[in-house]
Structure 1
């Protein structure tokens, strides 16, 4: 669930806040959810994304306070020291500073699991390849980090009057490093046929679709995407 991922990020942010060095590289490396969402598993990339926070979102007093307690805007080596620095620079008491930072961490967790998720976007790749004079092979590879909750992609192929529906293997059936791979589907085609291929991949995020075609017989290829659905139409010569 999306709420579960956000909650996991918030727990990790609070853990970083407690560290002497705050959100340094060593600390980020201990935060698997943040590493996946911001760096595709790379702590250095995730740290860079987190450090660029002030330049990528609309400013708020709460986010600024969160930057202080995480050590992104302060060099103090304790949470108390970072809170005191923020409170002093903004002429407020420490209790107000703590309240702002708590709200800021919640806002950060929400941003990290929505707006900032770039490296961890679920990606489905559809390959169309000519395998003979009267057949086209369709293959799907779907990649999804463990921290993103996605359902099972469904592949539907229609060629002439024949329709084939295939489910991409579920994580429990075939998963290694967050990758799920479908079995290939071979379609019989004839001159003048319209081939329609659709993929629906439901989940907590809209996936990215990538289509590669080398079928060699289509005089027209139309690709459409909307939300969780990909549609490819081919008109066969």
Structure 2
């Protein structure tokens, strides 16, 4: 096993500052999902998305009360609508009010790191917390802009994950969008970042957030995670 993975799995975890970056593009407003859970059917994509985030936050708070949560909305750029706070009640109240509204024709992902960098005044020194950024992107036709890789991502205590949820019909842009978002994740320094393209599958959406629930400093890399899941699905047999 990779010694880096062993060190990551057994390090003493820090409290997390969790920044949820939620896309507000209008095309997510009336989009249906497939494979809905039995107790939450006939809902739109945004309903499932907010429910998955709520379950995620509640699960994290059950593990420790030391985590803090912040909500950012994304139109042409990122905006903090709920500053970091340990209260999941406050976070969920703000989350419940968010709805798709944006007709923006561009989307600058660099703004996420600029906004958070200004909010937290992060230096290059070791942080007393782990900053966990989760981007939820939901556009079918709009490739996000990344002018340069922000230095915040190179910080050892910063973790960046992304969930891409989009329409059931493929477009020529989906591959380019995934490639662009992955450029923030596939850097050699981002060994423990996760990317999930769940399309319009509610079951995959909830599974993605369940895999994001574990502490970022105690996770294995995504490839190993997927191999372990496949082993379980195959009755515990090791994949060849």
Same fold (TM > 0.5) = no
Q: TM-score, normalised by structure 1?
A: 0.30
**Larger Cα Rg: Structure 1 or Structure 2?**
1
The structure where strand makes up a greater share of residues is: 1
Q: TM-score, normalised by structure 2?
A: 0.30
